[in-house]
Structure 1
């Protein structure tokens, strides 16, 4: 199938101006100022992108595709995600994770769900493990999982500074990082450790100690939930200036949205003003994960569910409400996660890359059309492809 996107204004995510883009199957074939179709050539799908921005498909690097939760008992286990929960948010690549529950949610389940979503049309990868240490793997080894299982690109989400963690030592995390790093080197994968940051007082202490006392580079870690509280956010600025990657969670409860002073869109503006490299900042949704609420004594009092659609909502807010430039805002969900996670064919609009493309309305900045691996999933706001059980 050939698909021609005509007359759109391209952010790749850097600005390219008005271009025509020819998608050849699952790859971007040509990008030209104008691509003309011969009059007698009929086997081509033409999408009019006039008055649209054309951007790379979004990468969500932290999604509980099997569901998450359980902090309030078995009835609070959130359901598995559906395809359109993802594509309606412009996301064409997801990284699946396990969270608090590494018992009833298993690595076999996670990989099977990832393969199912890929059969339905999007690109998927996963992390091995969950909150718990020692890491529960498929093969019995972190290094072997990363090297031998194509879907596994790193470790996560390992919980630190959180009352729900396994309370690992610095040495525990050090050994996990070392094994993941070698696994990544030998398989040309990222081998990163996705760290769940809780709201405890230790914050980033473990990661900073490892970087200062070993040969493991700061780029081996991708700590998330960095806007969880103001103290952690302030600490993240210093950490990122040292070269560390920092990830901000876009899903939140309505109460958090009202009170949080580290909303990702706002945080992005502050980070850029503080001189943090725009290449070191990512957003992820925590989609389909539970959003547990605890009282001051750590008792469970309520639950929400994370939404993948929140990912682009925060990018849009950064542009419209905070005045962040479109290219820098888009980097947080396109080129940055692609580079950090070594997803070589993702995150850019460039000839030879995977044909993951999103069209955005220029006036409203709402998502208009979503194309994943050359297949139109959403067209002019309407769902074209549904998941198997939708």
Structure 2
């Protein structure tokens, strides 16, 4: 199949320019001006991207597709549909499934389901410990051979420093890395939100920043000891960022990610006890949000990842203390990231860097993350001015646990192309 994207603002991590993209098969054949005159496009699907942004397909390093075991929340098929509706063409689902993705058979099964669906590239993250129980590490070599790209017990911390050390040592041998869910559970005190003025006003138990910062410090020291690569997931604390900055300056092999909800919202959004704002790590204070936005602008943060975490309505429509942690994120990635651009926090080029180029670099995906000749034709076309209501007519997930559900948003992925095939078109807008 041939596709010609015309008249778009093409945005890579290092440049933006108006032009065309010509695709044949699963690869980008040419990028430039007036390509319709230079190539035989009579059999091509023509997409006019005037007044739209053309970016490399997003690579989301942190999602939960709940498959196997919790398919009533989401599964690999619905997760894939949700991903492409948000411009994500490559996703890395976490291992906290049921059964846990702690062996090669489950890893292979997840990949096979995604290939059968045919919408995204799915690279599973294997569990660090068997059953996420914090004890012995998994057979990492077997899982990497089956297709796992990294290891994490996300949702739970690895409490044992010795186990985390072993994980860093083993992943280093295999050219892989560890994604750390940084949480010192002994500091949690059964908290359900950030510990501060708002938690006191609401009468809810709080979790201090230090419960994250203690483990960030420990895991970076273990990376220093082993030379392994540690990737800090969903950073939420200003002081965590200060420690990451120091670690990078000292040459420790550390990368990190932040989520759209942590650079968009604060604990003050919980004043009406909306459980859709309940997440782990929790929304923190405005000073933390501002620190994250500053770190995005400076280049300290490597990746924006959604931590897409679907939950059934029964998991959220309960008392705040009993509600599950987690928020949908895939279909709200574009409007929240574009708000950073609108607020002059980051440029479009840096948005592309954080959502595509850097994840591709971390994952050693040499044919992704850029719109250039011979790269894989994974592309998202964004209408930055499109206003719409994010509702059941657009939502592709089985779940609705987003505080933005039913709200008017601005900016959306209107076309998503995966390996040269159109896999998403915004309803009633394109096509």
Using the size of structure 2 for normalisation, the TM-score is 0.71
Closer, same or farther: CA 165–40 of 1 in aligned 2, 3 Å: closer
Closer, same or farther: CA 259–158 of 1 in aligned 2, 3 Å: closer
Q: Distance in 2 between matches of 1:263 and 1:88?
A: 32
- Specify which of 178, 183, 205 is matched with residue 174 of structure 2: 183
Counterpart of 1:42 in 2: which secondary structure? coil
Q: Does 1:126 align with 2:124?
A: yes
| 2:293 counterpart residue number | 269
Alpha-carbon displacement from aligned partner over 1:323-346 (angstroms, at most 9, x marks no partner): 321111221111011101111111
Q: Distance in 1 between matches of 2:102 and 2:164?
A: 21
| 1:57 counterpart residue number | 57
Residues 1-390 of structure 1 aligned to structure 2 (within 5 Å):
1-37=1-37, 42-67=42-67, 78-81=73-76, 82=78, 83-99=80-96, 103=99, 107=103, 108-119=105-116, 120-129=118-127, 131-134=132-135, 137=138, 141-146=139-144, 148-149=145-146, 151-157=147-153, 164-169=156-161, 171-184=162-175, 191-198=176-183, 200=211, 202-214=214-226, 216-217=227-228, 220-227=229-236, 229-242=237-250, 244-250=254-260, 254-255=276-277, 260-261=284-285, 266-272=290-296, 275-277=298-300, 280-288=301-309, 300-364=322-386, 365-381=411-427
Q: Distance in 1 between matches of 2:305 and 2:68?
A: 15
Residue 67 of structure 2 contacts residue 98 of structure 2 at CA under 8 Å; is this kept in 1? no
| 1:188 counterpart residue number | none
Deviation at 1:226, TM superposition (A): 0.7
Deviation at 1:204, TM superposition (A): 1.5
Deviation at 1:317, TM superposition (A): 2.1
Q: Distance in 2 between matches of 1:265 and 1:112?
A: 38
Alpha-carbon displacement from aligned partner over 1:241-266 (angstroms, at most 9, x marks no partner): 44531111335764359963369985
Deviation at 1:176, TM superposition (A): 1.1
Alignment RMSD (CA, Å) = 3.5
Alpha-carbon displacement from aligned partner over 1:73-117 (angstroms, at most 9, x marks no partner): xxx984324132111111000112113x56466654454233222
Residue 240 of structure 1 contacts residue 246 of structure 1 at CA under 8 Å; is this kept in 2? no
Q: Which has the higher strand share?
A: 1
Q: Distance in 1 between matches of 2:158 and 2:36?
A: 60
Deviation at 1:67, TM superposition (A): 4.7
Closer, same or farther: CA 24–268 of 1 in aligned 2, 3 Å: farther
Residue 238 of structure 2 contacts residue 288 of structure 2 at CA under 8 Å; is this kept in 1? no
| 1:388 counterpart residue number | none
Q: Distance in 1 between matches of 2:12 and 2:358?
A: 12
Q: Distance in 1 between matches of 2:18 and 2:107?
A: 40
Residue ranges of structure 1 left out of the alignment (5+ in a row): 71-75, 185-190, 386-390
Residue ranges of structure 2 left out of the alignment (5+ in a row): 185-210, 263-274, 387-410
Q: Distance in 2 between matches of 1:68 and 1:268?
A: 33
